[in-house]
Amino acid sequence: MTTGEPRLGPGEEFDRIRSLARALGSRAAGLGDDCALVDLGGEILAASTDLSIENVHFRRDWLSFDEIGWRCAAAALSDLAAVGAMPIGVLTAIGAPGTSVQSELDQVMSGVGALLDETGGVVLGGDLSSSPVWTVSVTVLGRARRPVLRSGGKPGDSVWVTGSLGGARAALETWLGGEQPAPSSRESFARPHPRLLAGVWLADTGASAMIDLSDGLGGDVRHLSAASGVAITIELSLLPVHDGVPDVARRIGEDPRVFAAGGGEDYELLALLPPEFTPAMAQRFEAHAGIGLARVGSVEEGAGVRLLLDGTPVEIAGYDHFR
């Protein structure tokens, strides 16, 4: 745990976190990474908390109650993946409207349980309250053998991304346009898969820095750059773009690669890997984790992030949750 101002990228949400860290002074420890890491005599505990609120993070006409539970838990578990930790368990605090019924609460919790069937871990505890809107706070606890922070990136590293990007945003934009998303995009939004095994594999293989893509690559890569004190260049034409993206991107007049880089909540991992990491090792990763691993950029001396599209600089705003 380190104290001091968190080294985050630009953005209103991150200005808020910087201000809160100042308000806490020496009582803030290790803010600004995906997880807190606590050395408990041999075991390193990783912990993170994630708040999901109806009409901010999800809508009830988009998701079933068990999907709400799955998605809220996935957002939190993804932070464990980002430091290379595996889950011990979760604590779930749920606020439910007075008009809710028990079976809805049970379905939210069944969704959490279904995800834990996939990832491992148990529900360790929770809290219930009434609330004007559905509110789900999930805190995850995990064990990290070799934790990877955002701050370890070095010049000479290369930038890799797991899976594919933009699926969740494709669903979101389609719903916002009043239509039903394609099944595979809907699945990306409703039941994201935290990349836990991938995160541990990358940690064990020497990843120098990692982050999960919750705010979108365009914003999240800035946190890696700021925390590691390095310059990062991303070539968007190398991005693995989700199948559901091209149709939706075309409809709103955006290049699919730019669309994918601006999409949040994919919960893929962005990892900085050392020069020794080879394409053959990426193939071994794909066999192990069952998802792709694509090289999308490079790390140099300096500061800041350059996003290129076929070699030409482009601007992409981060996905700001504080809305």
Beta strands 158-162; 269-273: pairing state: antiparallel
Question: For its own copies, which residue of 8, 50, 193, 268 counts as binding (CB under 8 A)?
Answer: 50
Asked if 176 interacts with its own copies (CB under 8 A), we say no
* φ, ψ at 211 (rounded to 5°): -155, 150
CB of 93 to its own copies, least distance (A): 4
Asked if 24 interacts with its own copies (CB under 8 A), we say yes
- Of 27-35, 177-185, 250-258, 308-316, the segment contacting its own copies by CB under 8 A is 27-35
End-to-end CA distance of the chain: 30
Beta strands 231-235; 305-309: pairing state: parallel
The DSSP result for 60-122, as a single string, is TTTS-HHHHHHHHHHHHHHHHHHHTEEEEEEEEEEEE-TT--HHHHHHHHHHHHHHHHHH--E
- Residue whose CB is less far from its own copies, 26 or 312: 26
- Residue whose CB is less far from its own copies, 150 or 242: 150
- Residue whose CB is less far from its own copies, 122 or 317: 122
- Residue whose CB is less far from its own copies, 24 or 252: 24
From residue 191, how far is each of 73, 168, 183 by CA, in Å? 10, 10, 11
Residues 13, 56: Cα–Cα separation, whole Å: 14
String of contacts with its own copies for each residue 197-236, x by CB under 8 A: ----------------------------------------
Which positions from 67 through 96 interact with its own copies, judged by CB under 8 A?
88-89, 91-95
Which positions from 121 through 150 interact with its own copies, judged by CB under 8 A?
122-133, 135, 137, 139, 141, 143
Amino acid at 16: R
* φ, ψ at 305 (rounded to 5°): -125, 135
Are 202 and 273 contacting, i.e. CB atoms less than 8 angstroms apart?
A: yes
Question: For its own copies, which residue of 4, 5, 10, 22 counts as binding (CB under 8 A)?
Answer: 22
CB of 54 to its own copies, least distance (A): 9
- Residue whose CB is less far from its own copies, 13 or 254: 13
Asked if 102 interacts with its own copies (CB under 8 A), we say yes
Are 124 and 139 contacting, i.e. CB atoms less than 8 angstroms apart?
A: no
CB of 113 to its own copies, least distance (A): 4
CB of 58 to its own copies, least distance (A): 12
Residues 173, 170: Cα–Cα separation, whole Å: 5
Compute CA 100 distance to the chain's CA centroid, rounded to the nearest angstrom: 29
CB of 8 to its own copies, least distance (A): 12
- Residue whose CB is less far from its own copies, 57 or 242: 57
CB of 201 to its own copies, least distance (A): 23
Asked if 4 interacts with its own copies (CB under 8 A), we say no
Question: For its own copies, which residue of 7, 62, 64, 107 counts as binding (CB under 8 A)?
Answer: 107
Asked if 41 interacts with its own copies (CB under 8 A), we say yes
CB of 90 to its own copies, least distance (A): 9
The footprint of its own copies on this chain (CB under 8 A) covers a number of residues equal to 72
Sign of the CA dihedral running 26, 28, 32, 35: positive
Are 316 and 165 contacting, i.e. CB atoms less than 8 angstroms apart?
A: no
Are 144 and 44 contacting, i.e. CB atoms less than 8 angstroms apart?
A: yes
